[in-house]
Amino acid sequence: MVLEGRVFRFGDNINTDWIISGRYKFAITDMKKLSQYLFEDIRTNFFKEIVPSKSIIVAGDNFGMGSSREQAPWVIKEAGIICVVAKSFARIFYRNSFNIGLPLIEADTSSIKEADQISVDVDTGVINNKNYQVPIEFNPWDNFRKELIRCNGVINYLSRHKNFKI
pTM above 0.85, yes or no: yes
Instruction: Residue 47: name the closest of 62, 64, 32 by CA.
Output: 32
Residue 112: Cβ-neighbour burial (10 angstroms; 0-12, 13-18, 19+): buried
- β 81-86/55-59 pair status: parallel
pLDDT of residue 134: 87
Walk me through the domains of the chain, giving residue ranges and CATH numbers.
2-161 (3.20.19.10)
Closest to 1 measured CA to CA, from 108, 161, 143: 143
What pLDDT does residue 31 have?
87
Q: At what angle do helices 143-150 and 91-100 cross, to 10 degrees?
A: 50
Q: What is the pLDDT along the chain (166 residues), one digit of tens a residue?
A: 999 999 999 999 999 999 998 887 778 888 899 999 999 999 999 999 999 999 999 999 999 998 877 889 999 999 999 999 999 999 999 999 999 999 999 999 999 999 999 999 999 999 999 988 889 999 999 999 999 999 999 988 888 876 655 5
